[in-house]
Amino acid sequence: MNHFHYLNGELHAESVAISRIAARVGTPFYCYSTATLARHYTVFRDALAAAGLDATVCFACKANPNIAVIRTLAELGAGADVVSEGELRQALAAGVPPARIVFSGVGKTRHELEFAVAKGILQINVESEPELRLLSEVAAARGIRMPVSIRVNPDVDAGTHAKITTGKKENKFGIEWTRAREVYGLAAGLPGIEVVGVACHIGSQLTELEPFRDAFVRVRDLVAMLRADGIQIRRLDLGGGLGVPYEHESPPSPAAYAEVIRATLGDLNCRIIVEPGRLLVGNAGILVSKVIYVKEGATRTFLIVDAAMNDLMRPALYDAHHAIFPVAEPAAGSARIEVDVVGPVCETGDTFAKQRSLPPMRAGDLLVFGTAGAYGAAMSSTYNTRPLIPEVLVKDDDFAVVRARPSYEDMLALESLPDWFGHEG
């Protein structure tokens, strides 16, 4: 469910007309709904509580690291799962308490580890032996033992897109399942490490529960072995990955997901940490664009819009589907035509949809890409020297620009010419 709906013939975000925002900030832009963010978080949190789980929900900031989005979720009680120093700084700036922040990621640098240790975050999820040794050195230098969960790769196929599968043995993430016990033994003897848990994340956009169940059973087996070794595991970080409907998918409900956790891990007396990202923000955001031209080609019609692959990368990167619909509500039974929806970037890959059935549209009309709140703005770039686009947060009948569009002057000011070119004037 989301809070984008037609009212009086025009698409609204909650009680704000999309055309009103477009007139103020220009197109393209991202628009997020506070009500949808709040609903998705509370439904997920309450499902875990109803299953009797002692659970902390840490929003996976990589899905949408805007500090206003993070703050919205933090005020509801969410923590943050971060994968870089930048995301950690964003979470702190958004007001997430360090005691609710988990630092994941396969390539943390010394500086990042030093920063995280200094901030006193909840835990670091370690993904390799070299990282484990480096973290111990960093923490011991400060005279502390850093709480750590070791990310274990359970060799479970998530059944999702190959580029967002993370739990198979050929993936770069985590410690291979067969070596986990050995690495935990190493960790237990390092001076700067306090082993507190097991971490596991098998991928993103999962639409079936069985891969979760398979991974959690392996986690359960590992906990039993580690406790037999005298290592007292008290936290289980289960990652995220529950999918959202982009087209015809029917992902499991949060309640069904929570029941799998309860059935497999609920009697281990562990604190559960879960890290949803897409589930919380995907349907809470849209990308609004404007038609520049309607171009009649030899074999098809092209709808050329002012958003591009640098603004929403998912279709070019993953062949991902996003619903596309006009801001002006079409009349019931109105005609539709098949069009290719494309952007202005000089790449054939700058294509959002091929032969998509849409109402006839003209230059200047506004259209929307749905379910764009996750991995939209987060993955955007300035390719073709196109400015990053604004992000807008709506609440009830009000809205605010929560990331402004930089000017070309702002962009050029980040660059400089070396002295050997000389100076004009």
* pLDDT tens string 275-309: 999 999 999 999 999 999 999 988 899 999 999 99
Distance linking the first and last C-alpha atoms of the chain: 60
Q: CA-to-CA distance for 181 and 188, rounded, in angstroms?
A: 11
Q: Determine which of 52-56, 135-139, 157-161, 340-344 has the lowest per-residue pLDDT on average.
A: 157-161
* pLDDT tens string 209-246: 999 999 999 999 999 999 999 999 999 999 998 999 99
pLDDT at 173: 54
Q: CA-to-CA distance for 290 and 366, rounded, in angstroms?
A: 4
Say yes or no to pLDDT of 414 above 50: yes
Q: Determine which of 184-193, 205-214, 371-380, 410-419 has the lowest per-residue pLDDT on average.
A: 205-214
Residues 42, 244, 337, 339, Cα dihedral to 10°: 120
Catalytic residue among 58, 61, 270, 346: 346
CA 179 from chain center: how many Å?
Answer: 29
pLDDT at 297: 83
pLDDT at 334: 87
Q: CA-to-CA distance for 125 and 166, rounded, in angstroms?
A: 15
Token code pair at residue 403: 């990331």
- Predicted TM-score of the model (pTM): 0.94
Say yes or no to pLDDT of 420 above 90: yes
Token code pair at residue 98: 């360090």
Class of domain 34-277: alpha beta
Instruction: Give which of 124, 132, 130, 80 is closest to 103, Cα–Cα.
Output: 124
- pLDDT (mean) for 37-42: 98
In Å, what is the CA distance from 233 to each residue of 51, 191, 226, 306, 383? 21, 18, 7, 52, 46
Ranges of each domain in the chain = 4-32+282-412, 34-277
- pLDDT (mean) for 65-86: 98
pLDDT grade, residue 19 (50/70/90)? Answer: very high
In Å, what is the CA distance from 102 to each residue of 34, 91, 194, 285? 24, 10, 15, 25
**Residue in this structure with the two tokens 């037999």, named with its chain if needed:** 228
- pLDDT (mean) for 124-128: 95
pLDDT, the chain, mean:
93
Q: 3-state SS of the chain? A: CCCEEEECCEEEECCEEHHHHHHHHCCCEEEEEHHHHHHHHHHHHHHHHHCCCCEEEEEEHHHCCCHHHHHHHHCCCCEEEECCHHHHHHHHHCCCCHHHEEECCCCCCHHHHHHHHHHCCCEEEECCHHHHHHHHHHHHHCCCCEEEEEEEECCCCCCCCHHHECCCCCCCCCEEHHHHHHHHHHHHCCCCEEEEEEECCCECCECCCHHHHHHHHHHHHHHHHHHHCCCCCCEEECCCCECCCCCCCCCCCHHHHHHHHHHHHCCCCCEEEECCCHHHHHHHEEEEEEEEEEEECCCCEEEEECCCCCCCCHHHHHCCCCCEEECECCCCCCCCEEEEEECCCCCCCCEEEEEEEECCCCCCCEEEECCCCCCCHHHCCCHHHCCCCCEEEEECCEEEEEECCCCHHHHHCCCCCCHHHCCCC
Say yes or no to pLDDT of 161 above 60: no
Q: State the architecture of 4-32+282-412 in CATH terms.
A: Beta Barrel (2.40)
Q: Are 193 and 139 in contact (CB under 8 A)?
A: yes
pLDDT at 424: 62
To the nearest whole percent, how much of the chain has pLDDT over 70?
Answer: 95
Q: CA-to-CA distance for 75 and 58, rounded, in angstroms?
A: 12
The per-residue b/e assignment along 229-238, b for 16 or more CB within 10 angstroms, e otherwise, is eebebebbbb
- Enumerate residues 6+ apart whose C-beta is below 8 A from 144: 117, 192
pLDDT at 203: 84
pLDDT at 160: 46
* pLDDT tens string 367-406: 999 999 999 999 999 999 999 999 999 999 999 999 999 9
Higher per-residue confidence, 122 vs 157: 122
**Residue in this structure with the two tokens 């997020």, named with its chain if needed:** 32
Higher per-residue confidence, 178 vs 76: 76
Say yes or no to pLDDT of 167 above 90: no
Q: Dihedral sign, CA of 171, 63, 134, 137?
A: negative
Say yes or no to pLDDT of 30 above 70: yes
Q: Are 213 and 257 in contact (CB under 8 A)?
A: no
pLDDT grade, residue 46 (50/70/90)? Answer: very high
Q: Is 346 a catalytic residue?
A: yes
Looking at the DSSP assignment, which residues form a beta bridge with residue 289? 367
